[in-house]
Chain A
Amino acid sequence: GAGVSQSPSNKVTEKGKDVELRCDPISGHTALYWYRQSLGQGLEFLIYFQGNSAPDKSGLPSDRFSAERTGGSVSTLTIQRTQQEDSAVYLCASSLDRINSPLHFGNGTRLTVT
């Protein structure tokens, strides 16, 4: 089963703590995306990677959010000093090439900040 894998599936953290969310894309997919879905909202774009570089970071909500991708594969999204408004489902997706290849999503990480 070579789908997009995200871990953890659920994360509860206290306000002010840092969290790391991991994404394992489909092997061979060069493009990787992070989105988040807050309660009752659509999918909000956060960041896009092509290989290891991030041409578009425009969706990151604040400087508390950062992401990296290593070896053209695994990506981590880090949220520092979490706030309650960061609570959401964080979705990772990968695609073969660029945007006109359909995105394959993982099942997401549900983050709850208490």
Chain B
Amino acid sequence: DQQVKQNSPSLSVQEGRISILNCDYTNSMFDYFLWYKKYPAEGPTFLISISSIKDKNEDGRFTVFLNKSAKHLSLHIVPSQPGDSAVYFCAASAHNTDKLIFGTGTRLQVFP
């Protein structure tokens, strides 16, 4: 039972364009969402988060959008840079638990 789903295993985007990574969840108790970025042979690093009381959070080139009614969130990267090439994980948690549930990841490749 995959509570957090990233249905696109990979995405290829040209440098300078927008990258949009999508994530769907099934548990309506989730109220905190995060995106992590992972390079090969390294642990994931925190990128950006959003609480369920918001529908948008922006940090530089990165914006996360949350649509609670659709149980969907997305990460926008604009403009995309070759250094953004990595695997991106969506994660979610519910306020009454301490467990962070991760999706299976989307591999983003930004080409020149």
Contacts and interface: CB of A to CB of B under 8 A. Distances in A.
A105 B37 CA distance: 11
Nearest to A47: B99
B43 interface: yes
Contact of A56 (B43, B46, B97): B97
Contact of A45 (B36, B41, B89, B100): B100
A108 B98 contact: no
Given A42-B89, A93-B43, A103 B100 contact: yes
B45 A42 contact: no
B99 A48 contact: yes
Contacts of B62: none
A62 B73 CA distance: 33
Interface string B83-112: 000000101010001111111110000000
Interface residues of B, number: 24
Nearest to A45: B99
Contacts of B41: 107
Contacts of A12: none
A21 interface: no
Interface string A30-41: 010101000011
Interface of B: 4, 6, 32, 34, 36, 41-46, 49, 89, 91, 93, 97-105
26 contacts: A4-B43, A33-B100, A35-B102, A42-B6, A42-B89, A42-B102, A42-B104, A42-B105, A43-B89, A43-B102, A45-B99, A45-B102, A56-B98, A91-B43, A93-B43, A99-B98, A99-B100, A100-B93, A102-B46, A103-B46, A103-B100, A104-B46, A106-B43, A107-B41, A107-B42, A108-B43
Given A43-B91, A45-B102, A102-B34, 15 more contacts: A31-B98, A33-B100, A42-B102, A43-B44, A48-B98, A55-B98, A56-B99, A93-B43, A99-B93, A99-B99, A99-B100, A105-B36, A106-B43, A107-B43, A108-B43
